[in-house]
Structure 1
Amino acid sequence: MRIERTPTVVPPKYRDRELRYCLGEFLAGATVQGMKDAVLYEAERTIALEVQTEVRTALRDARLVHRHGERRRGTGMSDDWDWTPASPAYARSAGPLLKELETVIDQMEDALARIEKARTSLERRYGYDAGEAGGGPLRELSLPWKQARAARARLVELVAADRENAHEVALREAQYRAFLASEHSVTLPAIAAMSPTGFELAVAAFLRHDGFTVLRERGGSGDLGADVIAVSPQGQRYVLQCKHGSRRTARVDSPDIQRLNGTARQVHHADVVVVVTNGTVTAPARAFARSQRIHCIDRDALVRWATWGQPLPELLTAF
């Protein structure tokens, strides 16, 4: 059904006399085709502005999500009390999200640049044939608009997937922070101030907090490399050797690992062998330990265990 009607258009009455005159002259000389062209131009301009606004909003959302991800990835466990860090798992979980987001943002930025270029061409000129197949400058919006919408749909998928992925580690993050505020948390400076025996007793206490049954809590003469021996809740026998030093002076070398390797399983019947130090482990020592299935907990890993309360079995899977 087609309804024929003649609309009444009332020009605006500007206060400026000259402006009223110019507008009147323009309307007096307007043709029907000219009116159609003007309507088409205004329609295309409006569409272009709406598309531009939509993509700008999507790009802003993507950048906001990216900033949150960077903040999450840019933090990590530390004994620095000047800021609130995140757990390593929580920080790492942002990695896949950020990688995908960078692609999405690149696509949106490219689309937006092309859309703005098309909109500018509409602002500057209007001389194309309205009946030409494919239309005028507005056709330049089609592809980047589809690109931007596809990117925005991917953004929604990424945020949903990241929410699922980050939920579990966020809960663990809360547990770490609660541990940090508890009396069980021990900082590296406090550990450095301990005696070697005090360090062994502290390691035994960390194991008890993780649910282990401690069979030996400190070493001595004739311990054959086993300072602490404990049984996990799953029944595995852990043999730990503790290397303590003031500040960063402790260092575990290959001979230390070799001596422990000779007794931990053969003499102490260990299922899991661990060297714990508040210092460092040399690269050759770490390589030999890896070849013999011996775990090394250096000062960085010790922070996670002693200061943040990350359970030892979980920690060993990360190192």
Structure 2
Amino acid sequence: MEADIRRLRFELFTALWGDDWRGLEMGVAYLLQREGCGLVQRAGSSGDGGVDVAAFTPGALLVAVQCKAYKSPVKPNAIQAFHYATTNGWESTLSYRRWRHPRPQLRIMVITGGFGPAARGVAGNEGIHLVDLDALANWEHYGMRLPAVLGLEDW
């Protein structure tokens, strides 16, 4: 039953945005704009430095997002790479190189394939918020605001 619900949520999202990394990034960028965020970087590329989408929240926090259109759970090393890109490696990211934005105050990984316990542990230790397919469905289809999806009071 759980697998059927997860598959249906994935099908709903992919019906709107496609089932590849580009569609996921564009979908997340759209959802951030719907939240009232001002985009500064939309859709990653090989030179993005590990940040696919960057935006300023209505409260002026810089949000960095890494999107992975995976069918299986993400490994902890992907979380560690994103952590590095948004901390010590920030000066290598497109958001810094092009616009000299400071390091992000909010870091989010959106993964269609989910997260295993080890990846969740790394993310928790590093302060990275995780959005899996269930959270993505709440944000996209059910109109839940991202701060609520992430367990934040506001931003």
TM-score norm. by structure 2 comes to 0.78
User: Per residue, is there more strand in 1 or in 2?
Assistant: 2
- Kindly provide the CA deviation profile for residues 185-221 of structure 1, in whole angstroms up to 9, marking residues without a partner as x: x933426743211210110000000000011110001
State the partner residue of 1:256.
78
**Which fold has the larger relative contact order, with Cα–Cα distance below 8 Å and residues 6 or more apart in sequence?**
2
State the partner residue of 1:316.
150
For residues 77 and 17 of structure 2, the distance between their equivalents in structure 1, rounded to whole angstroms, comes to 23
SS in 2 for 1:233: coil
State the partner residue of 1:276.
110
State the partner residue of 2:53.
228
**Percent identical across equivalent pairs?**
28
For residues 54 and 74 of structure 2, the distance between their equivalents in structure 1, rounded to whole angstroms, comes to 19
- How many pairs does the alignment contain? 134
Match of 2:133 among 299, 303, 311: 299
Pair 1:207-2:35 in alignment: no
Alignment of 1:11-50 (within 5 A): none
SS in 2 for 1:187: helix
For residues 195 and 189 of structure 1, the distance between their equivalents in structure 2, rounded to whole angstroms, comes to 8
Pair 1:187-2:39 in alignment: no
SS in 2 for 1:215: strand
Structure 2 CA distance for partners of 1:279 and 1:192, relative to 1, 3 Å: farther
SS in 1 for 2:143: coil
Structure 2 CA distance for partners of 1:250 and 1:203, relative to 1, 3 Å: farther
Residue identity matched to 2:83: N
State the partner residue of 1:288.
122
User: Per residue, is there more helix in 1 or in 2?
Assistant: 1
Any stretches of 5+ residues in structure 2 without a counterpart? 91-95, 97-102
For residues 199 and 297 of structure 1, the distance between their equivalents in structure 2, rounded to whole angstroms, comes to 12
Structure 2 CA distance for partners of 1:301 and 1:189, relative to 1, 3 Å: same
Q: Which has the larger radius of gyration?
A: 1
- Kindly provide the CA deviation profile for residues 252-275 of structure 1, in whole angstroms up to 9, marking residues without a partner as x: 110000001111134151100100
Structure 2 CA distance for partners of 1:296 and 1:191, relative to 1, 3 Å: farther
SS in 2 for 1:281: coil
SS in 1 for 2:151: helix
Alignment of 1:158-177 (within 5 A): none
Structure 2 CA distance for partners of 1:227 and 1:290, relative to 1, 3 Å: same
Residue identity matched to 2:139: W
Alignment of 1:4-83 (within 5 A): none
Residue identity matched to 2:146: L
- Kindly provide the CA deviation profile for residues 100-119 of structure 1, in whole angstroms up to 9, marking residues without a partner as x: xxxxxxxxxxxxxxxxxxxx
SS in 1 for 2:55: strand
SS in 2 for 1:276: strand
